Structure 1
């Protein structure tokens, strides 16, 4: 192996950790949950994400399966000139996410589809969660109930919101038709710059 090839390999391996962390955080998965799914210990997963453990095929294969992405996407294999993204939808908590970006480092975008809640849950405040990062939402259709900290907002088509995901937040669909939104998520410090228009009431 030449020095240039060695440098390229080192660069590829160094980038794997941030990709793994970004993908896990974007899907709201904890290290403990991922460990249960893959059989890889939480300490090993943590060292992989921080770059303190060298990624191997034996580790990356179950992680690619757990995240539902091709192996070459985890390692950042170079593109072959085709700019089209072939999304692989996944479902979490009954909501559908369609990836709109190819790579997992930095900002990544999803189309987010939230089905109507059962009638008995339409007035229930969404369960909130927190995680590292920053999120930007743009509503394409429907009505979205955003519970952000102590505030309750209703966002409709054409409205946008951005927030630090360390603030407790949750989403719900209070209407009778699906909500479709574009969601852009990034690490702390990377953000869009569109502010939500606060509506009176919910």
Structure 2
């Protein structure tokens, strides 16, 4: 085994321990979340057990980090983000985040003259901000017009539709939590 490879494997344990502590988790809590025994997790963190894919995958999922981050893999290739637009319901969504799970960020382009289809309902929570144009947001019984610079947030379990308020294109920034995560928390005054 090359020295570089051995160094990478030796660094996995301390990286796992630091990540667990940073998240404020005990070994027992992490064991319950991953299905990996406390003793195995302890041996991984101390370096007495080598990490395997079967152990790292649930850890990456629970910590919501790419597998590369757990093993300290060097960044490779082109550092630029290559965005692949997705077309749905006549609109274009450009994903701005690539991490699995959690909040997802999108730039959304609403074309001019988009007709109002049936309202959508799906799991999640959405926060949006109008970058350019005038957005028509139909949310349940509400029919709202948001000009550039305004924002809205709502549970996507409420029937909703987004379109142009004036027949011109609209650009939005959207933060969407598929599991109902909110984009921000409000602090309460004491």
Superposition TM-score, scaled by structure 1 size:
0.55
Find 1:182's aligned residue among 173, 177, 182.
173
Find 2:139's aligned residue among 142, 148, 162.
148
Deviation at 1:131, TM superposition (A): 1.1
Unaligned runs of 5+ in 1: 20-74, 196-202
CA distance in 2, matches of 1:185, 1:83: 25
Name 1:102's counterpart in structure 2: 98
Deviation at 1:3, TM superposition (A): 4.4
Q: Does 1:12 align with 2:57?
A: yes
CA distance in 1, matches of 2:105, 2:175: 4
Alignment of 1:81-160 (within 5 A): 84-117=80-113, 121=115, 126-160=117-151
CA distance in 2, matches of 1:152, 1:4: 57
Contact 2:113 2:168 in 1 (8 A): no
Name 1:78's counterpart in structure 2: 68
Aligned length: 133
* Structure 2 CA distance for partners of 1:108 and 1:116, relative to 1, 3 Å: same
Larger radius of gyration: 2
Deviation at 1:157, TM superposition (A): 0.2
Residue 99 of structure 2 aligns to a residue whose secondary structure is coil
Contact 1:162 1:194 in 2 (8 A): no
Deviation at 1:135, TM superposition (A): 0.3
